[in-house]
Structure 1
Amino acid sequence: MSPPAGTVVRVRVPATSANLGPGFDTLGLALGMWDEVELSVGDGGRCVVDVEGEGAGRVPRDERHLVLRAAHATFARAGAPRVPLRLRCRNVIPHSRGLGSSAAAAVAGIVAARALIASTHPLDEDAVLDLAAGFDGHADNVAACLYGGLVVSWGHEGAWHAAHLTPHPALRPIALIADRSSSTEATRGLLPDRVPHADAAYNAARSALLVHALTSEPELLLAATEDRLHQPYRRPAYPETAAAVDHLRGAGVPAVVSGAGPTVLALTLDGHLPHGLDTTGFTVAPLAVDTDGARVEVV
Protein backbone atom coordinates (compact mmCIF):
# COMPACT_ATOMS: atom_id res chain seq x y z
CA MET A 1 0.00 0.00 0.00
CA SER A 2 1.32 3.44 -0.96
CA PRO A 3 1.64 6.33 1.53
CA PRO A 4 -1.65 8.23 1.69
CA ALA A 5 -1.94 11.13 -0.75
CA GLY A 6 -2.18 14.55 0.84
CA THR A 7 -0.07 13.66 3.86
CA VAL A 8 2.72 16.17 4.49
CA VAL A 9 5.63 15.45 6.82
CA ARG A 10 7.74 18.28 8.21
CA VAL A 11 11.13 17.56 9.69
CA ARG A 12 13.70 19.71 11.48
CA VAL A 13 17.23 18.31 11.77
CA PRO A 14 20.23 19.82 13.62
CA ALA A 15 23.79 20.42 12.56
CA THR A 16 26.32 18.14 14.22
CA SER A 17 30.01 18.07 15.04
CA ALA A 18 31.75 14.71 14.96
CA ASN A 19 35.00 13.47 16.50
CA LEU A 20 35.27 16.35 19.03
CA GLY A 21 39.02 15.85 19.02
CA PRO A 22 39.96 12.32 20.11
CA GLY A 23 36.61 10.58 19.49
CA PHE A 24 37.33 9.79 15.85
CA ASP A 25 34.30 8.25 14.07
CA THR A 26 32.69 7.69 17.48
CA LEU A 27 31.57 10.86 19.26
CA GLY A 28 29.04 13.38 17.97
CA LEU A 29 27.36 16.50 19.33
CA ALA A 30 24.14 18.08 18.03
CA LEU A 31 24.21 21.86 17.58
CA GLY A 32 21.55 24.56 17.44
CA MET A 33 21.47 25.15 13.70
CA TRP A 34 18.71 23.45 11.72
CA ASP A 35 17.63 22.45 8.24
CA GLU A 36 13.90 22.07 7.60
CA VAL A 37 12.40 19.58 5.16
CA GLU A 38 8.84 19.05 3.95
CA LEU A 39 8.05 15.76 2.21
CA SER A 40 4.80 14.62 0.63
CA VAL A 41 3.55 12.24 -2.03
CA GLY A 42 3.64 13.90 -5.45
CA ASP A 43 0.70 14.04 -7.81
CA GLY A 44 2.67 13.34 -11.00
CA GLY A 45 5.05 10.74 -12.30
CA ARG A 46 8.26 12.37 -11.18
CA CYS A 47 9.77 13.81 -8.03
CA VAL A 48 9.78 17.57 -7.51
CA VAL A 49 12.46 19.33 -5.47
CA ASP A 50 12.52 22.93 -4.21
CA VAL A 51 15.54 24.20 -2.27
CA GLU A 52 15.94 27.46 -0.37
CA GLY A 53 19.08 28.69 1.36
CA GLU A 54 22.30 26.72 1.49
CA GLY A 55 22.91 24.68 -1.65
CA ALA A 56 20.14 26.31 -3.71
CA GLY A 57 21.20 26.19 -7.34
CA ARG A 58 23.96 23.65 -6.63
CA VAL A 59 22.34 20.50 -5.26
CA PRO A 60 20.39 18.15 -7.57
CA ARG A 61 16.71 18.92 -8.00
CA ASP A 62 15.61 15.42 -8.92
CA GLU A 63 15.83 11.92 -7.46
CA ARG A 64 19.60 12.31 -7.02
CA HIS A 65 18.97 14.71 -4.13
CA LEU A 66 20.29 13.11 -0.94
CA VAL A 67 17.04 13.59 0.98
CA LEU A 68 15.12 11.77 -1.76
CA ARG A 69 17.71 9.01 -2.05
CA ALA A 70 17.43 8.47 1.70
CA ALA A 71 13.62 8.49 1.52
CA HIS A 72 13.53 5.91 -1.27
CA ALA A 73 16.05 3.75 0.60
CA THR A 74 13.68 3.85 3.57
CA PHE A 75 10.75 2.71 1.43
CA ALA A 76 12.87 -0.15 0.11
CA ARG A 77 14.02 -1.21 3.60
CA ALA A 78 10.41 -1.26 4.81
CA GLY A 79 9.06 -3.01 1.72
CA ALA A 80 6.89 -0.02 0.79
CA PRO A 81 6.25 0.84 -2.87
CA ARG A 82 8.32 3.59 -4.45
CA VAL A 83 6.21 6.69 -5.18
CA PRO A 84 6.90 10.13 -6.64
CA LEU A 85 7.67 12.61 -3.90
CA ARG A 86 7.56 16.35 -3.49
CA LEU A 87 10.42 17.78 -1.44
CA ARG A 88 10.92 21.26 -0.07
CA CYS A 89 14.16 22.11 1.73
CA ARG A 90 15.03 25.20 3.73
CA ASN A 91 18.73 24.77 4.39
CA VAL A 92 20.83 26.62 6.93
CA ILE A 93 23.60 24.12 7.72
CA PRO A 94 26.67 25.01 5.60
CA HIS A 95 27.68 22.35 3.10
CA SER A 96 31.10 20.67 3.20
CA ARG A 97 32.24 22.54 6.30
CA GLY A 98 32.33 19.77 8.92
CA LEU A 99 28.90 20.46 10.43
CA GLY A 100 27.08 17.34 9.29
CA SER A 101 25.05 18.69 6.37
CA SER A 102 25.07 15.32 4.58
CA ALA A 103 24.09 13.49 7.76
CA ALA A 104 21.26 15.96 8.29
CA ALA A 105 19.96 15.41 4.76
CA ALA A 106 20.07 11.63 5.10
CA VAL A 107 18.38 11.69 8.49
CA ALA A 108 15.71 14.10 7.23
CA GLY A 109 14.87 11.85 4.29
CA ILE A 110 14.76 8.72 6.41
CA VAL A 111 12.62 10.02 9.27
CA ALA A 112 10.27 11.84 6.89
CA ALA A 113 9.76 8.73 4.76
CA ARG A 114 9.34 6.63 7.90
CA ALA A 115 6.56 8.96 9.06
CA LEU A 116 4.85 8.75 5.66
CA ILE A 117 4.63 4.96 5.80
CA ALA A 118 4.32 4.48 9.57
CA SER A 119 0.76 3.14 9.45
CA THR A 120 1.44 0.48 6.82
CA HIS A 121 5.19 -0.27 6.89
CA PRO A 122 6.61 0.61 10.34
CA LEU A 123 10.38 0.81 10.90
CA ASP A 124 12.02 0.55 14.31
CA GLU A 125 14.73 2.85 15.68
CA ASP A 126 17.53 0.37 14.99
CA ALA A 127 16.62 0.25 11.31
CA VAL A 128 16.52 4.05 11.12
CA LEU A 129 19.99 4.41 12.65
CA ASP A 130 21.37 1.66 10.45
CA LEU A 131 19.96 3.25 7.29
CA ALA A 132 21.32 6.67 8.20
CA ALA A 133 24.76 5.32 9.06
CA GLY A 134 24.83 3.56 5.71
CA PHE A 135 24.66 6.91 3.94
CA ASP A 136 27.35 8.51 6.11
CA GLY A 137 29.66 5.52 6.43
CA HIS A 138 29.62 5.67 10.22
CA ALA A 139 27.16 6.67 12.90
CA ASP A 140 28.69 9.63 14.78
CA ASN A 141 27.03 12.51 12.89
CA VAL A 142 23.78 10.72 12.08
CA ALA A 143 23.21 9.46 15.62
CA ALA A 144 23.72 12.97 17.03
CA CYS A 145 21.35 14.32 14.40
CA LEU A 146 18.71 11.70 15.21
CA TYR A 147 18.84 11.86 19.00
CA GLY A 148 20.32 15.27 19.85
CA GLY A 149 22.79 15.94 22.64
CA LEU A 150 25.97 13.87 22.85
CA VAL A 151 26.22 10.40 21.34
CA VAL A 152 28.71 7.58 21.49
CA SER A 153 28.36 5.31 18.47
CA TRP A 154 29.85 1.98 17.49
CA GLY A 155 29.45 -0.83 15.00
CA HIS A 156 29.04 -4.50 15.88
CA GLU A 157 28.49 -7.49 13.62
CA GLY A 158 27.38 -5.38 10.69
CA ALA A 159 24.98 -3.15 12.65
CA TRP A 160 25.30 0.33 14.13
CA HIS A 161 24.46 1.33 17.68
CA ALA A 162 24.50 4.56 19.66
CA ALA A 163 24.23 5.64 23.29
CA HIS A 164 22.64 9.02 23.95
CA LEU A 165 24.06 11.20 26.74
CA THR A 166 23.09 14.61 28.12
CA PRO A 167 25.85 17.24 27.83
CA HIS A 168 26.68 19.43 30.82
CA PRO A 169 24.39 22.51 30.86
CA ALA A 170 27.38 24.87 31.19
CA LEU A 171 28.60 24.02 27.69
CA ARG A 172 28.51 27.00 25.28
CA PRO A 173 29.86 25.87 21.89
CA ILE A 174 31.09 28.42 19.36
CA ALA A 175 31.65 27.43 15.74
CA LEU A 176 34.16 29.23 13.57
CA ILE A 177 32.62 28.34 10.23
CA ALA A 178 35.20 28.41 7.47
CA ASP A 179 34.41 30.47 4.38
CA ARG A 180 35.75 27.71 2.15
CA SER A 181 34.63 24.12 1.89
CA SER A 182 36.57 20.89 2.35
CA SER A 183 36.13 17.36 1.06
CA THR A 184 35.74 14.64 3.68
CA GLU A 185 37.14 12.11 1.21
CA ALA A 186 40.22 14.24 0.59
CA THR A 187 40.99 14.84 4.25
CA ARG A 188 40.36 11.20 5.13
CA GLY A 189 42.84 10.31 2.42
CA LEU A 190 45.55 12.08 4.46
CA LEU A 191 45.19 9.64 7.35
CA PRO A 192 47.74 6.83 7.68
CA ASP A 193 46.74 3.18 7.61
CA ARG A 194 48.60 2.59 10.87
CA VAL A 195 49.32 4.74 13.92
CA PRO A 196 51.81 4.19 16.78
CA HIS A 197 50.49 2.15 19.68
CA ALA A 198 51.32 5.02 22.05
CA ASP A 199 49.11 7.38 20.04
CA ALA A 200 46.23 4.90 20.02
CA ALA A 201 46.46 4.52 23.80
CA TYR A 202 46.70 8.31 24.19
CA ASN A 203 43.48 8.80 22.23
CA ALA A 204 41.66 6.01 24.03
CA ALA A 205 42.36 7.76 27.34
CA ARG A 206 41.35 11.17 26.02
CA SER A 207 38.11 9.81 24.47
CA ALA A 208 37.07 8.29 27.79
CA LEU A 209 37.95 11.51 29.59
CA LEU A 210 36.04 13.54 27.00
CA VAL A 211 32.78 11.71 27.67
CA HIS A 212 33.21 12.45 31.37
CA ALA A 213 34.17 16.10 30.73
CA LEU A 214 31.25 16.77 28.37
CA THR A 215 28.69 15.31 30.76
CA SER A 216 30.01 15.88 34.27
CA GLU A 217 33.22 17.92 34.60
CA PRO A 218 33.63 20.40 31.73
CA GLU A 219 36.66 21.99 33.40
CA LEU A 220 38.62 19.01 32.04
CA LEU A 221 37.72 19.73 28.40
CA LEU A 222 41.08 21.19 27.40
CA ALA A 223 42.94 18.01 28.31
CA ALA A 224 40.07 15.81 27.14
CA THR A 225 40.06 17.24 23.59
CA GLU A 226 43.72 16.46 22.84
CA ASP A 227 44.12 14.29 19.76
CA ARG A 228 46.91 12.42 17.99
CA LEU A 229 44.82 10.21 15.72
CA HIS A 230 43.53 12.42 12.91
CA GLN A 231 43.90 16.19 13.35
CA PRO A 232 47.72 16.31 13.07
CA TYR A 233 47.61 14.43 9.77
CA ARG A 234 44.93 16.72 8.31
CA ARG A 235 46.72 20.00 9.04
CA PRO A 236 48.05 20.43 5.46
CA ALA A 237 44.47 20.45 4.11
CA TYR A 238 43.49 23.58 6.06
CA PRO A 239 46.38 25.54 7.61
CA GLU A 240 44.07 28.41 8.68
CA THR A 241 41.89 25.97 10.61
CA ALA A 242 44.92 24.40 12.28
CA ALA A 243 46.26 27.84 13.21
CA ALA A 244 42.92 28.85 14.76
CA VAL A 245 42.79 25.63 16.80
CA ASP A 246 46.38 26.20 17.97
CA HIS A 247 45.63 29.81 18.97
CA LEU A 248 42.50 28.88 20.88
CA ARG A 249 44.10 25.98 22.70
CA GLY A 250 47.12 28.12 23.53
CA ALA A 251 44.72 30.56 25.17
CA GLY A 252 43.16 27.76 27.23
CA VAL A 253 40.05 27.24 25.08
CA PRO A 254 39.15 23.59 24.26
CA ALA A 255 39.04 23.78 20.47
CA VAL A 256 38.90 21.04 17.85
CA VAL A 257 38.40 20.58 14.15
CA SER A 258 34.68 19.98 13.61
CA GLY A 259 34.28 16.66 11.83
CA ALA A 260 36.59 16.57 8.83
CA GLY A 261 36.83 20.38 8.86
CA PRO A 262 37.50 23.07 8.00
CA THR A 263 35.17 24.53 10.67
CA VAL A 264 36.59 24.93 14.18
CA LEU A 265 34.48 24.10 17.24
CA ALA A 266 35.35 25.83 20.51
CA LEU A 267 33.79 24.11 23.52
CA THR A 268 33.59 27.14 25.80
CA LEU A 269 31.88 27.51 29.16
CA ASP A 270 31.35 31.28 28.92
CA GLY A 271 30.41 31.77 25.26
CA HIS A 272 33.42 33.99 24.57
CA LEU A 273 36.55 33.74 22.43
CA PRO A 274 39.90 35.21 23.50
CA HIS A 275 40.82 38.73 22.42
CA GLY A 276 43.20 38.94 19.50
CA LEU A 277 41.98 35.82 17.73
CA ASP A 278 42.22 36.32 13.96
CA THR A 279 38.89 35.18 12.56
CA THR A 280 39.63 36.20 8.98
CA GLY A 281 38.15 33.54 6.73
CA PHE A 282 35.68 32.38 9.39
CA THR A 283 32.16 33.30 10.49
CA VAL A 284 31.85 33.19 14.28
CA ALA A 285 28.60 31.46 15.30
CA PRO A 286 27.71 30.87 18.97
CA LEU A 287 25.48 27.79 19.01
CA ALA A 288 23.38 26.08 21.64
CA VAL A 289 23.55 22.35 22.12
CA ASP A 290 20.51 20.82 20.42
CA THR A 291 18.86 18.36 22.78
CA ASP A 292 15.89 17.34 20.62
CA GLY A 293 17.49 15.76 17.56
CA ALA A 294 15.30 15.16 14.53
CA ARG A 295 11.79 16.49 15.08
CA VAL A 296 8.90 15.20 12.97
CA GLU A 297 5.44 16.63 12.43
CA VAL A 298 2.72 15.02 10.29
CA VAL A 299 0.17 17.53 8.97
Structure 2
Amino acid sequence: MILEEATKLASIICPVFNMAGRLQTLKEWVGKLSSNPQIEIIIINDYSDEATSAELRAIYEENENLKLIEGNFGNPGSARNAGLEICQGKWVIFWDSDDKPDVENFLTLLNYIDVRSPDICFGVYKIFNEISHLTSESPAWSSDTRKDLNTVARNPGIWRIVFARDLIQGLSFEPLRMAEDQIFICQAISRASKFVFADNQIYTYFTGSNSHLTKNSAALQDLLPAFKKTSEILKLSTGQVAPFLSLMAAKQMMSGSRHGNMRTRFGLLAEFFRTKLFIKPTFLNALRAVIQTSVRGA
Protein backbone atom coordinates (compact mmCIF):
# COMPACT_ATOMS: atom_id res chain seq x y z
CA MET A 1 0.00 0.00 0.00
CA ILE A 2 1.34 3.44 -0.96
CA LEU A 3 1.05 5.96 1.86
CA GLU A 4 -0.81 9.07 0.74
CA GLU A 5 0.73 12.43 1.53
CA ALA A 6 -0.41 13.78 4.89
CA THR A 7 -3.09 16.45 4.58
CA LYS A 8 -3.32 17.18 8.33
CA LEU A 9 -0.73 17.81 11.00
CA ALA A 10 -2.17 15.15 13.32
CA SER A 11 -4.85 12.48 13.52
CA ILE A 12 -6.47 11.57 16.84
CA ILE A 13 -8.04 8.10 16.79
CA CYS A 14 -10.51 7.35 19.59
CA PRO A 15 -12.62 4.17 19.95
CA VAL A 16 -15.88 4.33 21.90
CA PHE A 17 -17.87 1.48 23.44
CA ASN A 18 -21.00 1.66 25.62
CA MET A 19 -20.47 5.23 26.84
CA ALA A 20 -24.02 6.63 26.87
CA GLY A 21 -24.32 9.44 29.41
CA ARG A 22 -20.54 9.54 29.94
CA LEU A 23 -19.32 11.42 26.87
CA GLN A 24 -19.09 14.92 28.33
CA THR A 25 -15.28 14.89 28.61
CA LEU A 26 -14.93 13.63 25.04
CA LYS A 27 -17.36 16.30 23.87
CA GLU A 28 -15.25 18.98 25.58
CA TRP A 29 -11.89 18.04 24.05
CA VAL A 30 -13.44 17.46 20.63
CA GLY A 31 -14.97 20.93 20.85
CA LYS A 32 -11.60 22.49 21.66
CA LEU A 33 -9.84 20.79 18.75
CA SER A 34 -12.44 20.59 16.01
CA SER A 35 -12.01 24.18 14.86
CA ASN A 36 -8.30 23.57 14.23
CA PRO A 37 -7.96 22.73 10.52
CA GLN A 38 -4.63 20.97 11.14
CA ILE A 39 -6.19 18.37 13.43
CA GLU A 40 -8.24 15.39 12.28
CA ILE A 41 -10.39 13.60 14.88
CA ILE A 42 -11.61 10.08 14.10
CA ILE A 43 -14.19 8.61 16.48
CA ILE A 44 -14.95 4.90 16.05
CA ASN A 45 -18.14 3.68 17.70
CA ASP A 46 -17.90 -0.05 18.42
CA TYR A 47 -21.68 -0.27 18.33
CA SER A 48 -23.20 -1.45 21.60
CA ASP A 49 -26.34 0.62 22.15
CA GLU A 50 -28.43 3.20 20.35
CA ALA A 51 -28.03 5.80 23.10
CA THR A 52 -24.24 5.97 22.68
CA SER A 53 -24.66 6.13 18.92
CA ALA A 54 -27.17 8.99 19.18
CA GLU A 55 -24.90 11.01 21.47
CA LEU A 56 -21.92 10.53 19.15
CA ARG A 57 -23.95 11.58 16.12
CA ALA A 58 -24.96 14.76 17.94
CA ILE A 59 -21.29 15.52 18.69
CA TYR A 60 -20.46 14.82 15.04
CA GLU A 61 -23.10 17.27 13.82
CA GLU A 62 -21.80 20.01 16.11
CA ASN A 63 -18.12 19.84 15.18
CA GLU A 64 -15.81 20.28 12.20
CA ASN A 65 -12.85 18.11 11.19
CA LEU A 66 -14.49 15.13 12.85
CA LYS A 67 -15.04 11.74 11.26
CA LEU A 68 -17.42 9.19 12.80
CA ILE A 69 -17.19 5.49 11.99
CA GLU A 70 -19.75 3.01 13.35
CA GLY A 71 -19.61 -0.77 13.23
CA ASN A 72 -19.38 -3.98 15.22
CA PHE A 73 -15.65 -4.32 15.90
CA GLY A 74 -15.65 -6.38 19.09
CA ASN A 75 -12.44 -4.97 20.60
CA PRO A 76 -10.51 -1.68 20.83
CA GLY A 77 -7.78 -2.85 18.44
CA SER A 78 -10.08 -3.56 15.52
CA ALA A 79 -11.86 -0.25 16.12
CA ARG A 80 -8.54 1.62 16.03
CA ASN A 81 -7.61 -0.19 12.82
CA ALA A 82 -10.68 1.31 11.16
CA GLY A 83 -9.34 4.74 12.06
CA LEU A 84 -5.83 3.90 10.89
CA GLU A 85 -7.15 2.98 7.46
CA ILE A 86 -8.43 6.50 6.79
CA CYS A 87 -6.22 8.79 8.88
CA GLN A 88 -4.40 11.57 7.02
CA GLY A 89 -2.27 13.15 9.74
CA LYS A 90 1.50 13.41 9.69
CA TRP A 91 1.38 12.39 13.35
CA VAL A 92 -0.99 9.85 14.90
CA ILE A 93 -2.11 9.44 18.51
CA PHE A 94 -4.65 7.10 20.10
CA TRP A 95 -6.88 8.37 22.91
CA ASP A 96 -9.59 6.67 24.97
CA SER A 97 -13.12 7.99 25.33
CA ASP A 98 -13.20 7.84 29.15
CA ASP A 99 -10.05 9.89 29.86
CA LYS A 100 -9.12 13.58 29.70
CA PRO A 101 -6.49 14.84 27.24
CA ASP A 102 -4.83 18.21 27.83
CA VAL A 103 -5.53 19.88 24.50
CA GLU A 104 -3.31 22.94 24.94
CA ASN A 105 -0.25 20.92 25.97
CA PHE A 106 -0.88 18.47 23.16
CA LEU A 107 -0.89 21.23 20.55
CA THR A 108 2.33 22.65 22.02
CA LEU A 109 3.90 19.20 21.83
CA LEU A 110 2.86 18.81 18.20
CA ASN A 111 4.62 22.01 17.22
CA TYR A 112 7.73 20.87 19.09
CA ILE A 113 7.96 17.43 17.48
CA ASP A 114 7.12 18.75 14.03
CA VAL A 115 10.45 20.58 14.22
CA ARG A 116 12.37 17.69 15.82
CA SER A 117 10.87 15.01 13.50
CA PRO A 118 11.23 11.92 15.72
CA ASP A 119 9.81 8.52 14.85
CA ILE A 120 8.05 8.40 18.21
CA CYS A 121 7.45 11.00 20.92
CA PHE A 122 6.49 10.15 24.51
CA GLY A 123 4.66 12.74 26.59
CA VAL A 124 3.94 12.64 30.31
CA TYR A 125 0.60 12.12 32.01
CA LYS A 126 -1.35 12.05 35.25
CA ILE A 127 -3.41 9.24 36.76
CA PHE A 128 -6.68 10.05 38.53
CA ASN A 129 -8.13 7.35 40.79
CA GLU A 130 -11.92 7.55 40.58
CA ILE A 131 -12.30 5.78 43.94
CA SER A 132 -9.78 7.64 46.12
CA HIS A 133 -9.86 10.85 44.02
CA LEU A 134 -6.07 11.00 44.31
CA THR A 135 -3.88 12.14 41.42
CA SER A 136 -0.39 10.84 40.67
CA GLU A 137 2.11 11.82 37.99
CA SER A 138 4.08 9.67 35.58
CA PRO A 139 7.81 9.12 36.29
CA ALA A 140 10.23 11.79 35.12
CA TRP A 141 12.60 11.19 32.22
CA SER A 142 16.29 10.55 32.84
CA SER A 143 17.87 11.78 29.56
CA ASP A 144 19.09 8.19 29.00
CA THR A 145 17.18 6.59 26.11
CA ARG A 146 17.49 3.01 27.37
CA LYS A 147 16.35 3.94 30.88
CA ASP A 148 13.51 6.05 29.52
CA LEU A 149 12.32 3.23 27.26
CA ASN A 150 12.22 0.99 30.33
CA THR A 151 10.14 3.66 32.07
CA VAL A 152 7.71 3.50 29.14
CA ALA A 153 7.64 -0.32 29.38
CA ARG A 154 6.58 -0.04 33.02
CA ASN A 155 3.92 2.55 32.09
CA PRO A 156 2.98 1.73 28.47
CA GLY A 157 -0.10 3.89 28.01
CA ILE A 158 -0.53 4.34 24.27
CA TRP A 159 -2.49 7.55 24.81
CA ARG A 160 0.67 9.50 25.68
CA ILE A 161 2.60 8.37 22.58
CA VAL A 162 2.69 10.28 19.29
CA PHE A 163 3.69 8.18 16.28
CA ALA A 164 4.99 9.37 12.93
CA ARG A 165 2.46 8.04 10.42
CA ASP A 166 5.11 6.87 8.00
CA LEU A 167 6.67 4.78 10.82
CA ILE A 168 3.48 2.82 11.48
CA GLN A 169 2.51 2.29 7.85
CA GLY A 170 1.39 -1.32 7.48
CA LEU A 171 1.02 -1.91 11.23
CA SER A 172 -2.31 -2.85 12.73
CA PHE A 173 -3.68 -3.74 16.14
CA GLU A 174 -4.25 -7.37 17.05
CA PRO A 175 -7.97 -8.24 17.53
CA LEU A 176 -7.55 -8.70 21.29
CA ARG A 177 -9.42 -7.28 24.26
CA MET A 178 -6.24 -6.63 26.23
CA ALA A 179 -2.58 -5.76 25.54
CA GLU A 180 -3.24 -5.11 21.84
CA ASP A 181 -1.86 -1.62 22.41
CA GLN A 182 1.30 -3.05 23.99
CA ILE A 183 1.95 -5.20 20.92
CA PHE A 184 1.46 -2.19 18.63
CA ILE A 185 3.88 -0.14 20.72
CA CYS A 186 6.45 -2.96 20.61
CA GLN A 187 6.18 -3.22 16.83
CA ALA A 188 6.52 0.54 16.37
CA ILE A 189 9.47 0.88 18.74
CA SER A 190 11.22 -2.01 16.98
CA ARG A 191 11.05 0.05 13.76
CA ALA A 192 12.05 3.38 15.29
CA SER A 193 15.48 4.94 15.48
CA LYS A 194 14.75 8.42 16.84
CA PHE A 195 12.85 8.98 20.09
CA VAL A 196 11.83 12.17 21.85
CA PHE A 197 10.89 12.13 25.55
CA ALA A 198 8.97 15.34 26.21
CA ASP A 199 7.90 16.94 29.49
CA ASN A 200 4.52 18.07 28.14
CA GLN A 201 1.70 16.64 30.28
CA ILE A 202 -0.79 15.73 27.56
CA TYR A 203 -3.19 13.28 29.23
CA THR A 204 -5.03 12.32 32.41
CA TYR A 205 -5.80 8.60 32.67
CA PHE A 206 -8.74 7.60 34.85
CA THR A 207 -8.44 4.37 36.82
CA GLY A 208 -10.51 2.49 39.40
CA SER A 209 -13.67 2.08 37.33
CA ASN A 210 -15.16 -1.42 37.17
CA SER A 211 -15.79 -0.90 33.45
CA HIS A 212 -12.08 -0.98 32.61
CA LEU A 213 -10.92 -4.02 30.67
CA THR A 214 -8.10 -4.54 33.18
CA LYS A 215 -10.81 -5.82 35.55
CA ASN A 216 -12.46 -8.04 32.93
CA SER A 217 -11.62 -11.70 33.61
CA ALA A 218 -12.35 -12.82 30.05
CA ALA A 219 -10.20 -10.04 28.58
CA LEU A 220 -7.30 -11.01 30.86
CA GLN A 221 -7.02 -14.35 29.04
CA ASP A 222 -5.85 -12.43 25.97
CA LEU A 223 -2.54 -11.95 27.76
CA LEU A 224 -1.51 -15.37 26.40
CA PRO A 225 -1.75 -14.48 22.67
CA ALA A 226 -0.30 -11.07 23.52
CA PHE A 227 2.72 -12.70 25.18
CA LYS A 228 3.18 -14.97 22.16
CA LYS A 229 3.22 -12.00 19.79
CA THR A 230 5.53 -9.91 21.97
CA SER A 231 7.90 -12.89 22.30
CA GLU A 232 8.08 -13.13 18.50
CA ILE A 233 9.02 -9.44 18.27
CA LEU A 234 11.58 -9.86 21.06
CA LYS A 235 13.21 -12.79 19.29
CA LEU A 236 14.14 -10.53 16.36
CA SER A 237 15.22 -7.52 18.39
CA THR A 238 18.67 -6.19 19.23
CA GLY A 239 20.25 -3.06 20.63
CA GLN A 240 18.56 -0.53 22.89
CA VAL A 241 15.01 -1.80 22.32
CA ALA A 242 15.70 -5.38 23.54
CA PRO A 243 15.43 -4.48 27.26
CA PHE A 244 12.19 -2.60 26.55
CA LEU A 245 10.65 -5.58 24.74
CA SER A 246 11.88 -7.98 27.43
CA LEU A 247 10.21 -5.90 30.13
CA MET A 248 6.95 -5.71 28.18
CA ALA A 249 6.93 -9.50 27.67
CA ALA A 250 7.85 -10.15 31.31
CA LYS A 251 4.98 -7.96 32.52
CA GLN A 252 2.52 -9.80 30.29
CA MET A 253 3.77 -13.16 31.53
CA MET A 254 3.51 -12.11 35.18
CA SER A 255 0.03 -10.57 34.79
CA GLY A 256 -1.25 -13.61 32.91
CA SER A 257 0.22 -15.95 35.52
CA ARG A 258 -1.43 -14.03 38.35
CA HIS A 259 -4.82 -13.32 36.83
CA GLY A 260 -5.27 -15.88 34.06
CA ASN A 261 -7.13 -19.18 34.22
CA MET A 262 -5.29 -22.51 34.21
CA ARG A 263 -5.25 -22.68 30.41
CA THR A 264 -3.66 -19.24 30.21
CA ARG A 265 -1.08 -20.07 32.89
CA PHE A 266 -0.02 -23.34 31.29
CA GLY A 267 0.05 -21.65 27.88
CA LEU A 268 2.37 -18.92 29.15
CA LEU A 269 4.72 -21.49 30.64
CA ALA A 270 4.73 -23.52 27.42
CA GLU A 271 5.51 -20.40 25.38
CA PHE A 272 8.30 -19.47 27.78
CA PHE A 273 10.03 -22.78 27.08
CA ARG A 274 9.14 -22.93 23.38
CA THR A 275 10.79 -19.59 22.67
CA LYS A 276 13.74 -20.44 24.96
CA LEU A 277 13.35 -17.20 26.84
CA PHE A 278 14.85 -18.97 29.84
CA ILE A 279 18.31 -18.73 28.19
CA LYS A 280 18.01 -15.02 27.38
CA PRO A 281 19.68 -12.95 30.15
CA THR A 282 17.88 -9.76 29.10
CA PHE A 283 14.47 -11.39 29.53
CA LEU A 284 15.42 -13.10 32.81
CA ASN A 285 16.64 -9.79 34.22
CA ALA A 286 13.36 -8.17 33.18
CA LEU A 287 11.31 -11.00 34.71
CA ARG A 288 13.29 -10.74 37.94
CA ALA A 289 12.62 -7.00 38.09
CA VAL A 290 8.89 -7.52 37.50
CA ILE A 291 8.71 -10.19 40.22
CA GLN A 292 10.56 -7.96 42.69
CA THR A 293 8.22 -5.06 41.94
CA SER A 294 5.21 -7.36 42.37
CA VAL A 295 6.48 -8.64 45.73
CA ARG A 296 7.11 -5.11 47.01
CA GLY A 297 3.64 -4.05 45.94
CA ALA A 298 1.90 -7.07 47.50
> Into which bin does the TM-score normalised by the smaller protein fall?
under 0.3
Q: Normalising by the residue count of structure 2, what TM-score does the alignment of the two structures yield?
A: 0.28
- Looking at secondary structure, tell me which structure has more helix per residue: 2
Q: Normalising by the residue count of structure 1, what TM-score does the alignment of the two structures yield?
A: 0.28
Query: Which fold has the larger relative contact order, with Cα–Cα distance below 8 Å and residues 6 or more apart in sequence?
Result: 1
- Looking at secondary structure, tell me which structure has more strand per residue: 1
